[in-house]
Amino acid sequence: MQVDLGNVLDTASAHGVSREALDRLDGRVAAAHDRIERGREAGEHGYESLNLPNSTDPAAIRDAVSRFDDPSAVVTVGIGGSALGAATLTDALESDVDAYYLDNVDPEAVERLLDSLDLSSTVVNVVSRSGTTAETLANFLVVREAMADAGVDWADRTFVTTGEEGNLRDLADKHDLPSLPVPDGVPGRFSVLSTVGLAAAALCGHDIEAVLEGAAAQEARLSDSLFDSPAYAYGAVSYALAERGMHQNAMMPYAESLETFSEWFAQLWAESLGKDGLGQTPLRALGATDQHSQLQLYRAGPRDKLVTLVRAAERKDVAIPETDLDGLAYLGGSSLGDLLDAEFEATEASLAAAGRPSVRIELDRVDEYGLGELLYAMEAACVLYGELASVDTFVQPAVEWGKRAARGLLGGGDFEEADAVEEKSRLVVE
């Protein structure tokens, strides 16, 4: 994996980052790296996430799911970091086992999914560190009832990924369910390289050891200089551009297999860095589709965006047939991959010509190893950005406020946040 900062350096000086500025920033990167390493060595909350390539035990994950022979589908019941990391892996990789995610409580979507599945050959993975997450537990209760209605013993088709205490841990103990521990010190959005993200991939037959190997390769590249680490290069430049007014970051992979990765990145970046009036708002885009929708804004709209372009050097390809249609003969003899590459490079050049910064991230290929590299690098980049911005990367007080408000509205306790919802001003136009 490599990160190309050329289109950050080549943009107009008022909106880009000069090489001299990067050299100055590199001293702060060294100090941030030292803090990160001390946090990792002490196993501090959050910093422990960057130890997962070495601390996660893939054999334990495989053992926990080994009782489920040849499932047709796996349904992960979780929300946010309890689902998006796993979804990034399974959506990017091909498998004979279909992977689905109940990560919302939209009743129509839940009912539609359950009606479409053969529940007798479906494995359900319920993921919640606390075992009390309202959305996750509500969806699980619905799934359990659907299994009972279908004549399926839910306890034979379910395993849980949870903490040492809580409702899910009690449920696993009572019904002798297979279970995996959520690692201590790892916030949900940083948990893809743990039991939380890898169990569904293991059930789908993917090489989770290779995911961890790819992550370990990027872990080994962390250093006291951004010029020696792709992860730190991306984190440092994103921070530097935000300081110069680039308050939005459009994550734009040129591979449909990485579309869910953009969703995962959006949570990682937003929930970790959006504090104290600071942060960089993540935008989700897909190349080449969004060249025909969002690129107009990125190139000619407000000068407040970094565009991150991601592609793989190797992939399957499809030839474009020869044609005698006027104006299209130039396509014959090339391939869809050639066209996608041309679209990628045209977007990059278009942004540079307009003085808009972009960063290119290239993987060798979208496979288990490459995904491990990409996911770890983005996590390390996020942690570095947080250190440079002096924000607490690993807390999410605004999210917790909303959780308390929702629980209070449902009668789950007396929370002042729920009172604030009731006091909301209204101006209704009908």
* CB atoms inside a 10 Å sphere around CB 211: 30
Mean pLDDT on 33-45: 98
Same domain assignment for residues 159 and 56 = yes
- Structural domain containing residue 91: 50-208
Given the residues 45, 247, 362, 403, select the one marked as catalytic: 403
Same domain assignment for residues 227 and 367 = yes
The encoded tokens of residue 178 equal 């297979």
Same domain assignment for residues 233 and 112 = no
Q: How many residues does the chain have?
A: 430
Same domain assignment for residues 169 and 222 = no
Mean of per-residue pLDDT scores for the chain: 94
Given the residues 94, 108, 174, 292, select the one marked as catalytic: 292
The per-type count for the chain, helices as H runs and strands as E runs, is 17, 10
Same domain assignment for residues 224 and 87 = no
List of E strands, 104-259: 122-128, 158-162, 179-181, 248-253
| Most confident by average pLDDT, 87-91, 331-335, 414-418 | 87-91
**Chain-centre distance for alpha carbon 104:** 16
Assess if residue 45 is contained within a domain. no
Same domain assignment for residues 318 and 277 = yes
Assess if residue 394 is contained within a domain. no
Whether 271 is a known active-site residue: answer yes
Same domain assignment for residues 183 and 294 = no
Assess if residue 20 is contained within a domain. yes
Which of 208, 229, 255 is the last residue in one of the domains? 208
Whether 403 is a known active-site residue: answer yes
CA distances in angstroms from 53 to 146, 233, 256, 428, listed in the order given: 37, 20, 26, 52
Assess if residue 44 is contained within a domain. no
Same domain assignment for residues 24 and 92 = no
Q: How many domains are there within the chain?
A: 3
Whether 292 is a known active-site residue: answer yes
Same domain assignment for residues 166 and 31 = no
Query: What pLDDT was estimated at residue 407?
Result: 65
Query: What pLDDT was estimated at residue 416?
Result: 74
Assess if residue 31 is contained within a domain. yes
Given the residues 209, 219, 263, 271, select the one marked as catalytic: 271
Assess if residue 404 is contained within a domain. yes
Assess if residue 234 is contained within a domain. yes
CATH number at residue 302: 3.40.50.10490
129 Cβ contact list (under 8 Å, min separation 6): 82, 162, 163, 166, 182, 188
Encode pLDDT of 173-184 as tens digits: 999 999 999 999
- Cα-Cα-Cα-Cα torsion 116, 120, 123, 128, nearest 10 degrees, comes to 80
Helices 195-203 and 208-219: crossing angle, nearest 10°? Answer: 140
Encode pLDDT of 115-126 as tens digits: 999 999 999 999
The HSE-up count of residue 174 (CA atoms within 13 Å, CB side) is 8
Query: What pLDDT was estimated at residue 39?
Result: 98
Assess if residue 216 is contained within a domain. yes
The HSE-up count of residue 151 (CA atoms within 13 Å, CB side) is 1
Same domain assignment for residues 147 and 243 = no
List of E strands, 223-349: 248-253, 281-284, 305-314
Same domain assignment for residues 248 and 296 = yes
Encode pLDDT of 283-316 as tens digits: 999 999 999 999 999 999 999 999 999 999 999 9
Q: Is the pLDDT of residue 86 over 90?
A: yes
Cross-strand partners of 174: none
Same domain assignment for residues 113 and 29 = no
